[in-house]
Amino acid sequence: MNDPRRLGRIAAVVQRRRKQAEARRGRRAQLDSVAPYLSLVRAPSQIQPVPKQLPIQVRVATYNVHRWSGVTGRQAPDATRAGNVISELDADVVALQEVLRPFDAEDPLTAIAEAQNLHVAFVVTRTHRRGELGNAILSRWPITSLFVLDLSFSRLERRSAMAAEFDLGKRSLTVVATHLALRDRTRQRQVRSILSHPQLRGPVVLMGDLNAWRRSKATQALEAELGAHHNHCWPASFPSARPILALDRIYSRGAPVETLEVHCSAAARRASDHLPVIAVLKLPANLLSSRSVE
């Protein structure tokens, strides 16, 4: 044990591992210091024709896919589970949170979008050791414009919001997908930043994992500005095995919420620790005029 050569080798190994760990921390800190950015915008290879008659109702959904790692978070990532749930939702627009796009494997997000003939946009909030982590929007309609909001107001949490605009004839519909902070004070700043953005005009839908586990100033601001749904209680969506908290919500301005419910299929209970929430919105009358497709 007192062999100097052996002690020297041990010291060299320890020093090498320490330098490697410091290098990894440095690379991670450098990547995490980058503001959220738009990483993917893609149309399906088989684009569906735009209907001549505009829809009277729009079906939207929000879903935290838990990095594709199942209900416990300790399962091997398998996006097929969440992909099956997204198919069950049969929604026109789906907001996804905790989407993981791995560095060294096939991208499950684009695979899901392609398999279901959906347009897709993805914003990187931060880098995970397995890949890029962030928010996504899947849509049956082409996305006409996009912008990203950096909501990282805390050193402990990197957060973002993505707003996608869809052309629905005379006016447009904007969908904001986000994943808000755990702390009330930070979440309040994030909500103010979203609501005050000058590009959020006309009918707006805001949805995502809002971490709204209690009535706070952030949720009060959302209800005052965007309006609460007509039910008295938000549907509980977390944890998926036995939901007790309404973390996942859908707010709308200019397009009243007609129905709001949690999607609680057997597949959804296994695919993530969150259940999806679905809403049916009624579009304003001035959005319902027919148009011809050139």
Q: Is the pLDDT of residue 20 over 80?
A: no
Q: Is it true that the peptide bond before 44 is cis, omega within 30 degrees of 0?
A: no
* Mean pLDDT, residues 58-86 taken together: 91
Q: Is the pLDDT of residue 259 over 70?
A: yes
For residue 292, the model assigns a pLDDT of: 36
pLDDT tens, residue by residue, 179-236: 999 888 899 999 999 999 888 878 899 999 999 877 788 888 888 888 777 766 889 9
pTM: 0.84
The segment with the largest mean pLDDT, out of 96-105, 146-155, 222-231, is 96-105
Q: Is the pLDDT of residue 90 over 90?
A: yes
Q: Is the pLDDT of residue 118 over 80?
A: yes
Q: What pLDDT band is residue 51 in, cutting at 50, 70 and 90?
A: low
- Phi, psi dihedral angles at 42 (to 5 degrees): -150, 140
Let me know if 230 is exposed, middle or buried by CB neighbors in 10 A (0-12, 13-18, 19+). Answer: exposed
CATH number of the 36-287 domain: 3.60.10.10
Distance CA 46, CA 62 (A): 24
The CA distances from residue 242 to 69, 246, 256, 265, in Å, are 18, 12, 29, 13
Q: What pLDDT band is residue 133 in, cutting at 50, 70 and 90?
A: very high
For residue 263, the model assigns a pLDDT of: 97
Q: Is the pLDDT of residue 76 over 90?
A: no
Task: Give me 288's structure tokens.
Answer: 């319902």
